Chain A
Amino acid sequence: MSVVEVRVPVGYAPVYRRPKALSEKRFTYCPGCHHGIITRLVAEAIDELGIVERTVGVAPVGCAVFLYEFFRCDFAQAAHGRACAVATAIKRANPDLIVFTYQGDGDLAAIGTAETVHAANRGENITVIFVNNQIYGMTGGEMAPTTLPGMRTVTTPEGRDVRTSGYPLRVSEMLAQLDGPAYITRQAVFDVRHGQMARKAIIKAFRNQVEGKGFSLVEIVASCPTNLRISPEEGNRWVAEQALKYFPLGDLKVRD
């Protein structure tokens, strides 16, 4: 692991720093993957609220499996899909902690659907970061519950056929129907403007927990250029032009 020292030339001031909540460890994400942006935004939110010393993260199985190496806070590594159950218990065991999960669509919306829905329905006072990139990244690009109709993956080589594989699961819309959650929102990070909106949403989702408001989930529609076999730039366009058609952005539930 190498640490790159950036020298600030005379007359210039640094405006972009590594968030304090992040360790020196380099991210293991692919070039152009939105996980890198989202992980950073979570760290910025933790910095903004000054809660790193009482934050416990729950890492998923998937591309963010090494999350515990990237942060300077306590972490639990959960079994595939079980992050919301693990987070529930950490928070119940010690309500002074700020507990968040960070999960992909396979983890949260397929194998962990029950744990997610029931943690939301109980209104657990936790924060959930849900990265929806419409594919299983780590295992090699298989169909996810969120894969778009017609989208090619290694397990839908002819494109997702809704007659046999069903439709993309809109988890946030489902959860927004429940009485339990305090805040359900869908964001994106494919450009700076959306990234800043996502940042605000993530801060709000953490602040809700600090203020005891209850279950907050930020879904982020993301790109996986590696498995889509496209460039990072095309990945950004993919989100803006294709994914958002099925996953429109905005707040789905806000309880104040």
Chain B
Amino acid sequence: MKVLMTGNEAMAEAAIRAGCRCYFCYPITPQGEFVQYMARHLPRHGGVFLQAESEVAAINMVYGAAAAGVRTATSSSSPGISLKMEGISYLAGARLPAVIVNVMRAGPGLGNIAPAQGDYFQATKGGGHGDYRLLVLAPSTVQEAAELVMLAFELSDRYRVPAMILADGMLGQMMEPVALPAPIPKERIPPKPWALTGAKGRAPNVVSSFDLDPYRFRERLRSLWQTYREMERNEVRWEEYATEDAEIVLVAYGTMGRICRTVVRRARREGIRAGLFRPISLWPFPYEPLRKLAERVPVLLTVELSAGQMWEDVRLAVEGRARTPFYGELGGVVPTPDEILSEVRRYVRG
């Protein structure tokens, strides 16, 4: 059965179905429906909904709930995510699973509340301090948003790393029919023997990101980076659409990914053999599949709602094997399929 929901609501419902039982938030547009949905529904499932005094407090509450062994999440939008970055670094350092949803808006600064993809660097290259990564998943439909939220909880628990859903204002606000994934039964959530549950009949557990001894801390980070390498092997996700015979492939994620799918269809109608490569995991980034594509496709046009952030990863993947032009919009402006199509024409008939 499908229900009509906004992306924000679908992600919130998916979090509940994934077993999220502690959710901490601070209001911000354009993810307000997420907060409001959780306020209405999470307590009915026996969960904790808490509106914190700030994004800083909210992410540190996520740290506490994760340390207690509960599936936990927070959601926010760009400026709020900046405030959470300290806590996200601590989550990564303490090996705590948690899900952070960023419904991106235009920045820097207060910017505006229109959809943008300017937080790609922040999500995939750090954002907080220190040597860490986040699992970053970028949905392009409401259906996929719900599914990736479920996946984020699962992988976050499996690898003991925080996971981020990188959505944007367009996806958060739009309504689409969605077939909600089945709830995860409690017994399918893996046990967490490291969690702070009271040291009864066992040695005390400590959740910490702190170690003054550089040699011991190095070992801890090596183990963390082994996990990241494992994720790079196992958790790369992407979608290819009409790339088999393509003379030009658009590389785009999230909202831009779905708009570019329309562009590909229109281009094909006028005889341009266009295709789409849509990264779903932004970290780990699909470098290898993109490199393979670059060996047979002469032009890979990156399209983003930014000045070119994922573009850097595309160029790292391609390493000069193909032309890698860029088309982006700034400030919350979303390009129309026609505008992107004009750009496509430049490279195949230029």
Closest B residue, CB atoms, query A118? B53
Could you tell me which residues of chain B, from 193 to 216, have a CB within 8 Å of some CB in chain A?
Answer: 196-201, 204-210
Could you tell me which residues of chain A, from 105 to 119, have a CB within 8 Å of some CB in chain B?
Answer: 114-115, 117-118
Residues 75-87 of chain B, each 1 if its beta carbon lies under 8 Å from chain A, else 0: 0000000000011
Given contacts A75-B206, A90-B64, contact A85 B57 (CB under 8 A): yes
Residues 97-141 of chain A, each 1 if its beta carbon lies under 8 Å from chain B, else 0: 100000000000000001101100000000000000000000000
Q: Does A215 contact B (CB under 8 A)?
A: no
Task: Report yes or no: B61 in contact with A85, Cβ–Cβ below 8 A.
Answer: yes
Task: Report yes or no: B57 in contact with A118, Cβ–Cβ below 8 A.
Answer: yes
Given contacts A87-B64, A90-B67, contact A114 B57 (CB under 8 A): yes
Given contacts A75-B207, A93-B48, A118-B52, contact A53 B60 (CB under 8 A): no
Q: Could you list 10 examples of A-B contacts with CB < 8 Å?
A: A71-B204, A73-B199, A74-B204, A77-B94, A79-B60, A86-B67, A88-B50, A89-B68, A96-B198, A115-B56
Given contacts A74-B204, A75-B196, A75-B206, contact A90 B68 (CB under 8 A): yes
Report chain A residues within 8 Å CB of B62. 89
Task: Count residues of A near B (Cβ-Cβ below 8 Å).
Answer: 34
Q: Does A72 contact B (CB under 8 A)?
A: yes
Q: Does A240 contact B (CB under 8 A)?
A: no
Residues 175-205 of chain B, each 1 if its beta carbon lies under 8 Å from chain A, else 0: 0000000000000000000001111110011
Closest B residue, CB atoms, query A82? B60
Cα A164 to Cα B43 with chains together (Å): 47
Report chain B residues within 8 Å CB of A76. 63-64, 67, 196, 206-208
Give the B-binding residues of A (Cβ under 8 A). 52-56, 58-59, 65, 68, 71-79, 82, 85-90, 92-94, 96-97, 114-115, 117-118
Given contacts A87-B64, A118-B57, contact A74 B208 (CB under 8 A): no
Give the A-binding residues of B (Cβ under 8 A). 21-22, 24, 48, 50, 52-54, 56-58, 60-65, 67-70, 72, 86-87, 90, 94, 196-201, 204-210
Task: Report yes or no: B70 in contact with A72, Cβ–Cβ below 8 A.
Answer: no
Task: Report yes or no: B50 in contact with A94, Cβ–Cβ below 8 A.
Answer: no
Closest A residue, CB atoms, query B96? A76
Task: Report yes or no: A94 in contact with B63, Cβ–Cβ below 8 A.
Answer: no
With a 10 A CB-CB cut-off, give which of A55, A97, A115 has the most chain B CB atoms: A115
Task: Report yes or no: B22 in contact with A77, Cβ–Cβ below 8 A.
Answer: no
Cα A171 to Cα B262 with chains together (Å): 59
Task: Report yes or no: B56 in contact with A82, Cβ–Cβ below 8 A.
Answer: yes
Closest A residue, CB atoms, query B87? A79
Closest B residue, CB atoms, query A71? B204
User: In the complex, what's the smallest C-beta–C-beta distance from B127 to chain A, in angstroms?
Assistant: 15
Closest A residue, CB atoms, query B205? A74
